[in-house]
Amino acid sequence: MRRTALFVAVLAGTLLVPTGPASAHGGEAPDATAYRTEVTGLSPDEPGLTVRTVEAGARLELANRTGRTIEVLGYQGEPYLEVRPDGTYENVNSPATYLNQTLDGDTPVPASASPTAAPQWRRVSAGSTVRWHDQRTRWLAAGLPPQARADPSRSHKLRDWVVPLREGVRTFEVRGSLSWEPPPPAWLWWVGALTLGAGLMALGRRGARSLGPVALAAGTITLGYAVTRLSLGVGGQAPAIVAAALAVAAGVLTLLGRTPFLLALAGALLAIFGGYADAGVFGQAIVLFPGPGWLARAAVLVAIGAGLAMAATGVLRLRAAPISSDHD
């Protein structure tokens, strides 16, 4: 009884600790999106200069290996960024400097920032690669695009976009496209997660040790998934990493016939932070993950299903243990 109460107290305390995944996923690098932003090329081509999308289309990345200064122009044609041989600079008098600080473009623009003001450059990095949010590449209107509302069953190209660049007096541009992709059937992934959980619960009823390999595998998969997402700019992954590490430890100890408390706790945290917290990938076509979207969805499915089975099995073992026992 005391161990069950401790389990509930620890789980409740963990849930009450602010983790920030919602604001982190929505602010800089979305965990998943319905919009595909692609760079189609430079016009004209510029040897030594490359531009690509990163963070599921949330930012553009420009790498300047030309040995010359390349400017990125703002929304009204004003100098916004300069990528020089000695580093990257931003124009504090450009409104784009402030609008592009967040994905939503909600940073107030000071009165001193004007596209007609003389540039005032501030060094932001010593490197020749820069990333920035650019509203020209994104869908900014509220709600679905009209094409998607009319036919949500297929992909729709929404528009082509350009971002102007300048080198000296010569201008050229980055060109790309923005498309909307239909969502996968989220309900099917939820059914898969719950089905996996039910099957593993049945396995656990035959003996808690049978969930040892399950905990090891689920913890390893979740750890790899969370670390990969973190490396790509998705914040809020620390709780998932901790939950995954606990799952691995619980798997080892469960194989030794010990600590149903840790199995229950690790399972609950794995289902919540390794699975439910990232369940948005079930319902969006484009996932911030270096591979097919189904692979990321499968990792989340495993965390939810295995985590539920581990938690349920651990709690049942705790309830079945003698109250007077000093060992699990």
Torsional sign, CA 22, 178, 39, 45: negative
- Residue 45 CB-density burial (10 A; 0-12 exposed, 13-18 middle, 19+ buried): exposed
The span from the CA of 287 to the CA of 284, in Å, is: 7
Query: From CA 234, how far away is CA 20, in angstroms rounded?
Result: 11
Rounded Cα distance, 138 and 105, in Å:
11
In the block, which residue shows the tokens 């090891």? 216
- Conformational region of residue 183, where left means phi above 0, alpha means psi within -120 to 50, and beta covers everything else: beta
Same domain, residue pair 156 and 263: no
DSSP conformation class of 177: E
CB contact at 8 A, 105 and 58: no
Residue 69: exposure state from Cβ atoms within 10 A (0-12, 13-18, ≥19): middle
User: Same domain, yes or no, for 23 and 51?
Assistant: no
Angle, vertex CA 98, rays to CA 235 and CA 21, nearest 5: 15
What was the pLDDT predicted at 31? Answer: 73
Cα separation, 219 vs 260, whole angstroms: 16
- The count of domains in the chain is 2
State which of 180, 203, 218 marks the end of a domain: 180
User: How would you class 172 by CB atoms within 10 Å of its CB: exposed for 0-12, middle for 13-18, buried for 19 or more?
Assistant: middle
Q: What is the pTM of this model?
A: 0.77
Please check whether residue 327 lies inside any domain of the structure. no
Residues 71 and 20 both lie in one domain = no
Structural domain contains residue 325? no
Domain assignment of residue 158, given as a range: 35-180
Question: CA angle 321-324-326, nearest 5°?
Answer: 80
Residue 9 burial (CB < 10 Å; 0-12/13-18/19+)? exposed
**Judgement on whether residues 189 and 175 belong to the same structural domain of the protein:** no
Q: Does 267 reside within a domain? A: yes
Q: Based on the fold, state whether residues 135 and 220 are members of the same structural domain.
A: no
The single residue listed with the structure tokens 């620890």 is 10
Question: pLDDT tens digit string along 39-96?
Answer: 999 999 999 999 999 888 899 999 999 999 999 999 999 999 999 999 999 999 999 9
> Considering 125, 153, 180, which residue would you say is the last residue of a domain?
180
Q: Which pLDDT does position 86 carry in this prediction?
A: 93
Q: What are phi and psi of 321, to 5 degrees?
A: -70, 145
The answer to whether residues 224 and 146 belong to one domain is no
Which are the contacts of 90, defined by CB distance < 8 A and separation ≥ 6? 80, 81, 82, 97, 121, 122, 124
Contact of 162 with 136, CB cutoff 8 Å: yes
Residue 233 Cα distances to 19, 21, 221, 287, 291, angstroms: 16, 12, 19, 12, 15
- What lies within 8 Å, CB to CB, of 202 at 6+ separation is none
Residue 8 lies in a domain: yes
Residues 195 and 314 in one domain: yes
Same domain for 157 and 75: yes
Instruction: Kindly calculate the radius of gyration of the chain based on its CA atoms and give it in whole angstroms.
Output: 25
Half-sphere exposure of 266 (CA within 13 A, CB side): 32
Residue 328 is assigned to a structural domain of this protein: no
Q: Maximum distance among all alpha carbons in the chain?
A: 83
69 and 176 assigned to the same domain: yes
CA-CA distance, 45 to 173, in Å (whole number)? 9
Q: What is the pLDDT of residue 7?
A: 44
Q: Which residues of the chain carry a pLDDT beneath 50?
A: 1, 3-27, 324-328
